[in-house]
Structure 1
Amino acid sequence: MSYKAARAIIGAVSLMIAAPVLTTQAHAIVPTSTSAVNTDTANLALRGYDPVAYFSAGKPTLGEARYSAKFNGATYHFASAANLKMFKASPAAYAPQYGGFCAMGVALEKKLDGDPMVWKIVDKKLYLNVNPDVFTAWSRDIPGNLVKAEENWPEIKNKTPDSL
């Protein structure tokens, strides 16, 4: 068996392992929303976690409503005025990819809730996953999964999670 064929089989098996985990998980926070950003019904993104803190503190940190900013129709909270200032200077650099939806879900053409506690920075971009098991599956081939997600995102970003 060639290396390319073995890699294709391994990739398919990885997706089959992740698929049962994905189908048992909750969809996005608002499953009927057509927004490209995963928010609650009040348009709060990242469940109130500070997107800058993943980069500056290296961990999820709850933000405060008094430090907030809007980006792409969503409200983000920040742990400090300094983090708010950094975000305002370059919001696209800090906002989670795929609007905070699960990166593996997007690779599989789904809009699943992204858990702010299940995250990774890859090439200076923040990615979330729906749970630790899905994160493990996604991590087996991050470059390949990102290629699939980048192909899928333009087609699914404005669809409701329930329709996928």
Structure 2
Amino acid sequence: MVGTCPALRAAETEQVVVNRFSGLAIDGFDPVAYFTDAEPAKGAPDVEVSENGAIWRFRNEANRAAFVARPDIYGPQFGGYDPIDVARGKAVAGRAQLWLVSGGRLYLFSREESLAAFAANPANTLKLATSEWGTLRAMLADY
């Protein structure tokens, strides 16, 4: 579990991290805004879509359309789980405000140390995380 604050709790039995109380992915932040604005931006309740068992919110219709066309690009990689922990075979939810776009993909991190470790060597982390993700994802689907 990622903390004791209900807003930070994520369902750790999901392939995509969602807030267990609201069903929102990345706590209602617009996943496309990380690319277009280079910063997290809250999405609007009237501009949302359901995808992969999560509710995704967007700042505007253009961002929603971009996401619907390419959720594989705009959605956080590894379902929003911290790639450092995924590389270790663990599912620890990333936080919307600890993020990095690297290689044209969005990554969320559970703590600043993970962000720094990933930024220092993304290729190695991605190699390890990718090899673990299939098994981890299957385990998450079984819960």
Which interval holds the TM-score relative to the shorter structure? 0.7 to 0.9
Pair 1:50–1:140, CA change in 2 (3 A): same
Paired residue for 1:52? 32
State the TM-score, normalizing by the size of structure 2.
0.87
For residue 158 of structure 1, give the secondary structure of its aligned residue in structure 2: helix
Deviation at 1:82, TM superposition (A): 1.5
Deviation sequence 1:105-129 (CA, Å, 0-9, x none)? 1111111010111111111111111
In structure 2, how many angstroms separate the alpha carbons of the residues matched to 1:108 and 1:154? 13
Higher mean C-alpha displacement, 135-144 vs 100-109: 135-144
The structure richer in helix per residue is: 1
Task: Give 1:25 shift.
Answer: 5.6
2:60 aligned partner: 80
Q: AA paired with 1:102?
A: D
Q: Partners in 2 of 1:154 and 1:120 — Cα distance?
A: 22
Which residue of 1 is the match for residue 42 of structure 2? 62
Cα deviations by residue, 1:2-58 (Å, 9 ceiling, x for unpaired): xxxxxxxxxxxxxxxxxxxxxx96496123x2x210011232111110000001111
Q: How far 1:148 moved relative to its partner? A: 0.2
Distance 2:119 2:73 in 1: 22
Aligned counterparts of 1:147 and 1:29: Cα–Cα separation in 2: 25
2:17 equivalent to 1:38: yes
Which amino acid in 2 is paired with 1:136?
A
Structure 1 unaligned spans of 5+: 1-23
Taking only aligned residues, the RMSD between alpha carbons, in angstroms, comes to 2.0
Q: In terms of Rg, which structure is larger?
A: 1
Asked if 1 retains the 8 angstrom alpha-carbon contact of 2:2 and 2:10, the reply is: no
Which of 123, 131, 135 is the aligned partner of 1:151? 131
1:29 to 10, 13, 19: 10
Matches within 5 A, 1:62-141: 62-141=42-121
Distance 1:98 1:70 in 2: 18
Q: Deviations over 1:94-152 (max 9, x none)?
A: 00100011111111111101011111111111111111122112222110000000000
